[in-house]
Chains A and B, each alone.
Chain A
Amino acid sequence: MKESRVKSEQRERQVPAGGSEYAIEINNLTFTYPGGFTALKEINLKVKRNEFVGIIGQNGAGKSTLLKNITGLLKPTKGDVIVVGVNTKDSTVADLATRVGFVLQNPDRQLFAPTVEEEVSFGPKNLKLPADEIKQRVQEALGYVGLLEQKDAFPPALSKGDRAKVVIASVLAMRPEVIILDEPTTGQDFRGCHQIMGIASRFHEAGHTVLVVTHHMALVTEYTQRTIVLCNGTVLMDGETREVFSHPEMLRQTFIVPPQITQAGTDLKEALMAARRGWTPRTVLTVKELGEDIVAAMKP
């Protein structure tokens, strides 16, 4: 009985999954806040299944507003947002939540339960799942973020990195198809940043779609395949991460500077191109790549 229920649920999930090649389709999205401020203007974007997308842009560019429109917390003033085959206009946040998981900016404000376990089980309980399934999902989600041992802890008393992970686990426990993270790395130390991006990365490798907003350019270049640059409510650039970071002059318009390693790579590239005509190395995204290019350049 229980098994058949789980199975029919999986089947339900697979129907939209087979429906479209896009996880997210945004058509002519304009969004105006009640006060009259238009935060998004005529946005058109398509995100394929299993993409890992970074969204960057200065403070106030409209990143959070865009993410809230994707998750249904805000509904478009004009245009449509279609998430895993469902138009957000025809759905509630709660219904969309099983398709797209959203970790809001500032994890601390999203913790409301007395223990980590209760925090993570809050979502599955709302889905009215059987008790053993809830338990299994909590185990799985906490295992995913490496917090199994802290399951009885009081969430606000955890370290900053662990608090962020609890929120991520609570969202993962919904088993969404897409996961969206709004500045999950802000205020985290080096280890925290990479642990969080590592979780996102594993989720991506498991076949899911991931969108991450961050102000850490080095994390964007290291982890994402595609980068979308927002500027004053419009899409300034959108493309392969390597391509986007090959245009520092455009990025500067929205006060973004490529990571230092990319800048060093660009300097090296110019020096090499001057020395060896007709040879154009790639735009460097990571330390590893720069190392490889230096080795390649030293070969005769």
Chain B
Amino acid sequence: MSVVQYVEGNSLLHRLDPRAKIIMLTILTIIIFIVENFLMIGAILLTILLLWWSARLPMKTLASYFKFLTGLFVFIIVIQGLFYSGEVILVQPLIPRWVPLIGGLGKISLDGALFGILISARIICLICLLPLVTMTTPIHFFALGLTKMGLSYQIAYTMTTALNTIPVLQNEASVVMDAQKLRAFRVFEEGSFVQKLKAYPALAVPLVIGAMRRAQLMGVAMDSRAFGALKRRTYVEDIIMKPQDYAVLAVFAVYCAAVLVGNFML
């Protein structure tokens, strides 16, 4: 389940200027938090799925997000239903009213469940949105886009390094999991969801130690190449906003307006 690995391609999303993509990502993220209308959040999700398809990003990865998050969504919807009071009750109290203190608890309200669904829809939108940028933009272009938008090179570099580290950490986690399986640890092969959740924290120790070792080495390597010595940098590969990029941004503006109007009018 890789989130940030660049996927080779030549779709419209691949060819867009990273700055255009970053702007759209930011605005759409804000809109996802604003929108409360089910139709509109559904429309956004559909748009994101269509973009996945048009950029030929791996549908398998997309499916794995949904699979991975189903449990969380059920949890959110139930919890919201339980603690959000509303008029319409879907499930009657699980604990009879005459029980002292906790009597009457355990009813699931419609409003709460709907709110839970909205939160779940937002989460899945956000999670599917990010790879539309990270999987279609080579990481150094992403950093270049950020610096051209005014972010300091140091910070952009830190961010891209962090993104680059994710696949390394994923790989290291799978090595530790392999090592544990080789010592008859069954949870990753045949354990329940809860058992797996309990087993993950143990992976953190070797991962953190490894990350600290790497960070130290990297610091030395960067210092020895005079990182940050020059305040103004030049770039081997440059990026320029093309008419195509402006056109896409214009279409995006209309789309956002439509979604917001839809949200407040419907």
Q: Spell out A's residues near B (CB within 8 Å).
A: 71, 73, 92-95, 97-98, 101-102, 104, 106, 108-112, 114, 122-123, 126-127, 156, 167, 170-171, 174
Contact = CB atoms under 8 A, between A and B. Distances in A.
Interface residues of B, number: 20
A104 B177 CA distance: 12
A104 B175 contact: yes
Contact of B189 (A94, A104, A108): A94
Contact of A126 (B178, B184, B190): B184
Q: Which 6 A-B pairs have the closest CB atoms?
A: A123-B183, A110-B179, A126-B184, A93-B181, A94-B184, A109-B175
B184 A97 contact: yes
A112 B203 contact: yes
Contact of A122 (B172, B180, B190, B206): B180
A171 B172 CA distance: 19
A127 B181 CA distance: 12
Interface string B174-217: 01101111111110011000000000001101100110000000
Contacts of A106: 175
Contact of A127 (B176, B180, B182, B184): B184
B189 A92 contact: yes
A114 B205 CA distance: 9
A93 B183 CA distance: 9
Given A73-B178, A104-B178, A112 B206 contact: yes
A170 B209 CA distance: 20
A134 to B, nearest CB: 12
A110 B179 CA distance: 6
Contact of B182 (A93, A108, A114): A93
Q: Give the one of A98, A126, A171 with max B CB within 10 A.
A: A126
B210 A171 contact: no
B210 A109 contact: yes
8 contacts: A94-B186, A97-B181, A97-B182, A97-B183, A101-B182, A109-B210, A112-B205, A171-B183
Interface string B141-176: 000000000000000000000000000000010011
Q: Give the one of B179, B183, B190 with max A CB within 10 A.
A: B183
Provide the main secondary structure of the chain B interface.
helix
A177 B209 CA distance: 33
B183 A122 contact: yes
Contacts of A126: 183-186
B185 A109 contact: no
A112 B184 contact: no
Contact of B184 (A71, A104, A123): A123
Nearest to A154: B209
A174 B181 CA distance: 12
Nearest to A101: B182
Nearest to A122: B183
A52 B61 CA distance: 43
B182 A112 contact: no
A108 B205 CA distance: 12
A167 B180 CA distance: 11
Interface in B9-46: none
Q: Give the one of B182, B186, B203 with max A CB within 10 A.
A: B182
B201 to A, nearest CB: 11
Contacts of B180: 112, 122
Contacts of B172: 109
A252 B183 CA distance: 38
Contacts of A170: 183
Contacts of B210: 108-109
B85 to A, nearest CB: 45
A101 B183 CA distance: 8
Given A93-B181, A97-B181, A104-B175, A109 B206 contact: yes
Given A109-B176, A156-B209, A102 B182 contact: yes
A114 B183 CA distance: 16
A171 B203 CA distance: 18
Contacts of B209: 156
Contact of A104 (B182, B190, B203, B206): B182
Nearest to B173: A109
A174 B184 CA distance: 8
Q: Give the one of A94, A95, A114, A171 with max B CB within 10 A.
A: A94
Given A93-B181, A123-B183, A156-B209, A110 B175 contact: yes
Contact of A98 (B176, B184, B205): B184
A71 B183 CA distance: 11
Contact of A93 (B176, B189, B203): B189
A112 B202 contact: yes
Nearest to B202: A112
Contacts of B181: 73, 92-94, 97
